[in-house]
Structure 1
Amino acid sequence: MNHNVRTIVFRCLDLLPDNVGRKMHHQLQNLLENKVLYVRIKRTENTFDEFVKICEAIKIDLNQKSIIEIGSGWLPIFPYFLLYLGKVKNVFSFDLNEHYQKKRIANFNSIFSKNYNTTIDALFNSKYNLPDGVHYYPGENIINSKIPDADIVVSRFVLEHVAPNDIFEMHQKLRNSLKKGTHIVHFISPSDHRAHGDITLSLQDFLKYSKPEWDAIQTKFDYHNRLRLPQYLDIFKSLGLEVVYLTFDTVKEGTAQYDLFKKVNIHSDYNSFSTEELTAGSINIVLKI
């Protein structure tokens, strides 16, 4: 969807009573998800492959481990990769919203079974057609939840949509609840998501706005905190979390993305950051409690 149209749609939904706006947003997302399901499965597989590589690089054995997922999304795609390909024991998936639907997951179970040559036996009494080993906690903020015993915490493209104060409180809760040595793995996409559907827009376009200006554009349906890499690192280090793995990419001089970036009139709020820090994207980071 064109980013201008998307913004107009979200702002209209934001004007409706909260329960009505969220219901209509849910229906719209269901429609869009159905159209791109196979693309989303493939993208999630790519992230899973990267997750496995990261675990191998820092000597984490996934076999029979328990994992907390922050941000369940619309389908249990990543938990299934963890369970059936990664051979983990349990995935505890937390989400502020309740997006899972029994009928859609039944269809997804069939697709995943066929594509990955596995058998998914949904539990007879499962509200969402989930198999043993996938535990879903919808409508729960992990900051206020009881944290299950786990070996690894993972999020996929979630942190950029979380308010900075909540990122701090979330990691404070994890640090205080989980055993020392537990790893926290984050895949973060700090770029302007509007540019993902518009190649004429810089991935840093939203950095031209002041906070009030940006808050007037975004809504609760497409919130983006715009944090730069050093700001994430400051939050993690302030809690005494050890950074044991970090990779990211940046725009390269001479590329189309670099040219687009140079045209952006970066707001003075970001004057203290270098070009590398402003453009750091596709952040993969592992923290250790």
Structure 2
Amino acid sequence: MNWKYKALLQRLLAIIPFGEKVNFQLQKFSGGNKLSHVDEYVNSGVRIVKLLIENGFVDIKNKQILEVGTGWLPTFPILFSLLGAGKIYTYDHVPHLRFTMTKSTLTQIKKSFPFISKQLGITVEKLEDKCSKAMNTEDLTRLFEFLNVQYRAPEDATYTKIPDNSLDLFFSYAVLEHVPENIVIGLTQEALRTLKQGAFYYNYIGLHDHYVSFDKKITKVNFLKYPEWLWKILAKNKITYLNRLRNSQFVKIIEDCGFEIVSINTFVDSKSLKAIRKMKIDKKFSDFELEDLATTCSEILARKTIV
């Protein structure tokens, strides 16, 4: 089906009363928040922990962590809690979480305990002990209290009121592409303020046209065709937002805010690169390198400089 139908429906939901609730039901029906995504997030969470350890993050135990963008499935906060994190703050601008889905997320994570144990050296018994106790809770508040997770939604993650120099990790996963550029800057500045010296700022960013999963006829760089005025109509609202920033722009923002880049892992999609060479892109993107435009995902790890 043509992706513009979905874009216009989401724009409509963004302006009508109870649009978020309707969107939740549509996501549930279409599988947009299906539990199969939990396995992917567990794999990513394990990879993040290993990347951090490789770069001097000694142990996740008792660490203070902040996540931006909880979403529908709180996989990362639950996983990091099971691994022994001290306190986890998770922020979202919309309170998407439901107790039943959160408990189902925990159940799904449990299936990956052998994998987590093998990759990170924590015993399955230790994971199962904490998990079983969490499963006995009766509502979302009690579940998160047991896991030392503070769910803050709706709240502004650019102004957290968390003390200066108190966090060990400030991170987001597939979030920064969904907020305006000034919010990306605000989040990065807040990360710099709240992180301890030498602590880490991690972001995984999906740089592709997300409508490609809905419309198989378009490419991952399809959205680079459109002028900004039209793109604002199609995909810049409170239900769906794609800022179209490129990897080089995210790197510049992070560096300009005062962070030291530790590592950057990117994927340049060959099909997107081929498409870029043939398609007419909007003038907004005319000064970018082709590889930058065809980069469809990026993993950026940065460190707060020790002074």
- Give the alignment's TM-score, normalised by structure 1: 0.88
Secondary structure (helix, strand or coil) at the match of 2:141 reads coil
Unaligned runs of 5+ in 2: 114-123
Please provide the CA RMSD for this pair.
Answer: 2.3
Paired residue for 1:136? 151
Which residue type is aligned with residue 133 of structure 2? D
Alpha-carbon shift at residue 33 of structure 1 (Å): 4.5
CA deviation after TM superposition for structure 1 residue 286, in Å: 0.9
Aligned partner of residue 237 in structure 1, secondary structure: helix
Q: Deviations over 1:105-159 (max 9, x none)?
A: 2333344335536224235675263332222111011112212632011110000
Q: CA deviation at 1:87?
A: 3.3
Q: State how far apart, in whole Å, the 1-side matches of 2:222 and 2:6 are.
A: 16
Matches of 1:264 and 1:66, distance apart in 2: 46
Is the contact made by 2:3 and 2:211 (CA closer than 8 Å) also made in structure 1? Answer: yes
How far apart, CA to CA, are the structure 1 residues paired with 2:189 and 2:288? 26
The letter for the 2-side match of 1:154 is: F
Q: What residue is the counterpart of 2:3 in the other structure?
A: 3
AA partner of residue 197 (structure 2)? K
The correspondence for 1:189, drawn from 191, 202, 206, is 206
What does 1:88-167 correspond to in 2, within 5 Å?
Answer: 88-116=85-113, 118=128, 119-122=131-134, 126-127=140-141, 129-130=143-144, 131-147=146-162, 149-167=166-184
Tell me the distance in 2 between the aligned counterparts of 1:152 and 1:217: 34
Deviates more, 1:48-57 or 1:264-273: 48-57
Instruction: Report if aligned partners of 1:247, 1:283 keep a CA contact under 8 Å in 2.
Output: yes
**Residue 291 (structure 2) aligns with:** 276
Corresponding residue of 1:235: 253
* 1:127 alignment partner, SS class: helix
Residues 272 and 49 (structure 1), Cα distance of their counterparts in 2 relative to 1, 3 Å cut? same
The amino acid that maps onto 1:42 is D
Which ranges in structure 1 are unaligned for 5 or more consecutive residues? none
Contact 1:102 1:128 in 2 (8 A): no
- What is the alpha-carbon distance in structure 1 between the residues aligned to residue 112 and residue 197 of structure 2? 38
Change (3 A) 1:232 1:9: same
- Report the TM-score when normalising by structure 2: 0.83
Partners in 1 of 2:278 and 2:43 — Cα distance? 32
- Cα separation, 1, equivalents of 2:167 and 2:244: 30
Amino acid at match of 1:129: L
Map 1:1-289 → 2, pairs under 5 A: 3-17=3-17, 20-33=18-31, 36-38=34-36, 40-64=37-61, 65-84=63-82, 86-116=83-113, 118=128, 119-122=131-134, 126-127=140-141, 129-130=143-144, 131-147=146-162, 149-218=166-235, 219-252=237-270, 256-289=271-304
Q: Which moved more, 1:145-154 or 1:121-130?
A: 121-130
How far did 1:233 drift?
1.7
- Cα distance in 2 for residues equivalent to 1:114 and 1:237: 39
- The percentage of counterpart residues that share the same residue type is 26
Q: Does the CA-based 8 Å contact 1:244-1:288 persist in structure 2?
A: yes
Q: Which moved more, 1:119-128 or 1:180-189?
A: 119-128
Which amino acid letter does the alignment assign opposite residue 31 of structure 1? F
Q: Kindly tell me: are residues 169 and 194 of structure 1, through their superposed partners in 2, closer, same or farther at Cα, counting changes over 3 Å?
A: same
CA distance in 1, matches of 2:86, 2:248: 34
Kindly indicate whether the alpha-carbon contact (under 8 Å) linking 2:64 and 2:169 is maintained by their aligned counterparts in 1: yes
CA distance in 1, matches of 2:153, 2:31: 19
Tell me: CA distance 1:52–1:178, structure 2 relative to 1, closer, same or farther (3 Å).
closer
- Equivalenced residues, count: 282
